[in-house]
Amino acid sequence: FNNVEAHLGEVDDTKLPAESIDAALMVDAYHEFSHPREMMQSLFRALRPGGRIILLEYRAEDPTVPIKPLHKMTEAQA
């Protein structure tokens, strides 16, 4: 893809300029955030109007997902 770019920020700040991204995709990552509120605020600031944040987390309530429980997130944690 020529329109996809990886970016490294801080634990509490994406360091992305305001209104600079169309979408943010995080797979199996949100449950690892030490500062989830600050990170989400930073992502929302970085979104262009109409942009989207996509989070994919494995549900702890689903025993059919073959992944370590440590990497699953419960509905209560969401």
| Those residues with Cβ within 8 angstroms of residue 78's Cβ, 6 or more apart along the chain or in another chain | 57
Give the largest Cα separation in the chain, rounded.
40
Please report, in angstroms and rounded to a whole number, the separation of the first and last CA atoms in the chain. Answer: 31
Q: What is the structure's pLDDT at 30?
A: 83
| Residue boundaries of the structural domains of the chain | 21-77
Number of H helices, E strands in the chain: 1, 4
Instruction: State pLDDT tens for residues 13-59.
Output: 999 999 999 999 988 888 888 898 999 999 999 999 999 999 888 77
Is residue 20 within 8 Å of 62, Cβ to Cβ?
no
Structure tokens of 18?
């305001």
SS3 for 40? helix
Q: Higher confidence at residue 6 or residue 22?
A: 22
Global confidence as pTM: 0.73
